[in-house]
Chains A and B, each alone.
Chain A
Amino acid sequence: MSAHASKVDSDALFRYVLRLGDLSLVLGQRLGEWVGHSPALEEDLGLANIALDLIGQARLLLTYAGEIEGRGRDEDKLAYLREQGAYFNAILAEQPNGDFGQTIVRQVLIDAFQLELYERMAGSRDERLAAIAAKSVKEVRYHLRYSSDWLVRLGDGTAESHARAQSALDLLWPYTVELFAADDLDRQMADIGVAPQLSEVHAAWSVRIDAILNEATLKRPADRPHAWHGKRGQHSEHLGYILAEMQYLQRTYPDARW
């Protein structure tokens, strides 16, 4: 790393931290939709607890993003008052819950991504991100333990559960490409030592996912070229509905507080 490259561009860092925070926030909001609707009480608790952890991560990350930006936006303003195009999560997080199997597949794919990302980010030269990553990775290990156990039960379960898990995997797999497609921002953050190289994260993720899919007797779909740019604010039609529900109260009653 050259001395020149070590200067952190605060606008770039702001956008990068939002990417991380938005992924957790949107996925957490999605999981919250299961509350009261899960197949069993235990799964209701499990999914709600994972959602809570993810929203906790998002709070830390959005608070930090607001401080980097320095325009007085706190976690709430960033969560409740940004439009869809200013959200930078990868599109996989906003995909609908579908059936329980589809939710679990989405969860495994993202849990394994966050695990590999945060483990490496714990060594970031950005102390605040390193601290958030080191804290979050402990929780993400439990998320992956939960989601991967379920994927094995579904994949290696009945013919019906296997077929549903495989079809969810086929449906969601193409979106994983965006997680690892490094753009200028990802490369810049990696070059200055703030974030790990996405290629390294991808390699580790791939090994981990293969092991889980193997145990679950599921077939890994082929990677296909992607046209998703959620990380740049271009989202699927689903995000708008999530934000409409999440932001309704703050927009209807501005500055409402508990």
Chain B
Amino acid sequence: MSAVSLRGDERTAAAGVAAVSEPAARVAAAWPLLASVEDPEIPALSIVDLGLVRFVEVGSDGQLEIGLSPTYVGCPATEVIRRSVQDALRQGSVGDFKVTTVLSPAWSSDWISADGRRKLLEYGIVPPDQSVSNMRDVLRGTRPLACPRCQSLDTEMVSEFGSTPCKALHRCRACLEPFEYFKCI
């Protein structure tokens, strides 16, 4: 049931295929439905904010295909998200569809939209650093994080892994509140 695709972001390519108006309309109808699907762990964000939707296109077989990237390979939310996407799409008039897992290119926290970053911060989770492609930064880089509540830079990491694989647990020494940091990956 979980077909794995190696294709990356083909949203641009799909636009060229959509010469017929009906497929284009189905693709257009799918995006708002997908944007209504919340991340089960961070309900403040949709899967579109998180950059999990890699493409929406109509294939030559007339099926609407949605490419989803997992954040972490073992993240239990991945299956919940897949089911929520199926439920959401059944609510609209998008016709036959299938959901494909896209592994490559691997999901990056850089794909979280600007809107998504703002929502994360409002939700109390410090958004990830952007564009860390250098392994040294990931392995040793520990920039001071600002507390999302009081903005103090006097904070420390408590644990590399928080309530989910994608987050680390930090603590603010000024206001003494714990907070989470969405890790850069």
Known: A53-B74, A56-B74, A134-B104. A139 touches B165 (CB 8 A): yes
Q: Does A45 contact B162, Cβ atoms closer than 8 Å?
A: yes
| CB within 8 Å of B: which A31-74 residues | 42-43, 45-46, 48-50, 52-57, 59-60, 63-64
Q: Does A55 contact B74, Cβ atoms closer than 8 Å?
A: yes
Name the residue on A nearest B141 (C-beta): A145
Q: Does A216 contact B (CB under 8 A)?
A: no
Q: Does B106 contact A131, Cβ atoms closer than 8 Å?
A: yes
Secondary structure at the B interface, as helix, strand, loop or mixed, is loop
Instruction: Mark contacts of B157-185 with chain A using CB atoms, 8 A cut-off: 1 yes-contact digit, 0 otherwise.
Output: 01111111100010000000000000101
Name the residue on B nearest A52 (C-beta): B74
Q: Which residues of A contact B139 (CB under 8 A)?
A: 141, 144-145
Q: Does B72 contact A46, Cβ atoms closer than 8 Å?
A: no
Q: Which residues of A contact B165 (CB under 8 A)?
A: 49, 52-53, 139
Q: Which residues of B contact A53 (CB under 8 A)?
A: 72-74, 165
Known: A131-B104, A131-B106, A141-B138. A60 touches B73 (CB 8 A): yes
Q: Which of B107, B135, B138, B161 contacts A46 (CB 8 A)?
A: B161
Known: A55-B74, A56-B72, A139-B185. A146 touches B106 (CB 8 A): no
Q: Which residues of B contact A146 (CB under 8 A)?
A: 160-161
Instruction: Mark contacts of B120-141 with chain A using CB atoms, 8 A cut-off: 1 yes-contact digit, 0 otherwise.
Output: 0000000000000001001100
Q: Does A9 contact B (CB under 8 A)?
A: no
Complex Cα spacing A132 to B5, Å: 11
Secondary structure at the A interface, as helix, strand, loop or mixed, is helix
Complex Cα spacing A12 to B106, Å: 26
Interface centre among A45, A64, A146 (most CB of B within 10 A): A45
Name the residue on A nearest B135 (C-beta): A141
Q: Which of B4, B75, B163 contacts A52 (CB 8 A)?
A: B75
Q: Does A135 contact B74, Cβ atoms closer than 8 Å?
A: no
Q: Which of A42, A135, A149 contacts B73 (CB 8 A)?
A: A135
| Minimum C-beta distance from B145 to chain A (A) | 16
| Minimum C-beta distance from B80 to chain A (A) | 12
Q: Does B59 contact A (CB under 8 A)?
A: no
Q: Which residues of A contact B4 (CB under 8 A)?
A: 60, 63-64, 128
Q: Does A142 contact B (CB under 8 A)?
A: yes
Q: Does A130 contact B (CB under 8 A)?
A: yes
| CB within 8 Å of A: which B31-90 residues | 70, 72-76
Q: Which residues of B contact A64 (CB under 8 A)?
A: 4
Q: Which residues of A contact B160 (CB under 8 A)?
A: 46, 142, 145-146, 149
Name the residue on A nearest B158 (C-beta): A42
Q: Does A138 contact B106, Cβ atoms closer than 8 Å?
A: yes
Known: A60-B103, A135-B104. A45 touches B74 (CB 8 A): no
Q: Which residues of B contact A56 (CB under 8 A)?
A: 70, 72-75
Q: Does A138 contact B6, Cβ atoms closer than 8 Å?
A: no
Q: Does A136 contact B (CB under 8 A)?
A: yes
Q: Which of A43, A128, A145 contacts B138 (CB 8 A)?
A: A145
Q: Does A45 contact B103, Cβ atoms closer than 8 Å?
A: no
Q: Which of A52, A55, A130, A142 contacts B104 (CB 8 A)?
A: A130
Can you list 19 pairs linking A and B with CB atoms under 8 Å apart? A45-B159, A45-B163, A48-B161, A52-B74, A52-B75, A52-B76, A53-B72, A54-B74, A64-B4, A128-B103, A131-B6, A131-B103, A131-B106, A132-B103, A134-B104, A141-B138, A144-B139, A145-B139, A149-B160
- 13 additional contacts, CB 8 Å, given A45-B162, A138-B108? A45-B159, A45-B161, A50-B161, A52-B72, A52-B75, A52-B76, A53-B73, A55-B74, A56-B70, A59-B73, A134-B106, A141-B138, A146-B161
Residues of A with Cβ closer than 8 Å to B?
A: 42-43, 45-46, 48-50, 52-57, 59-60, 63-64, 127-128, 130-132, 134-136, 138-139, 141-142, 144-146, 149
Give the 3 A-B residue pairs with the shortest CB-CB distance, closest first.
Answer: A56-B74, A56-B73, A131-B104
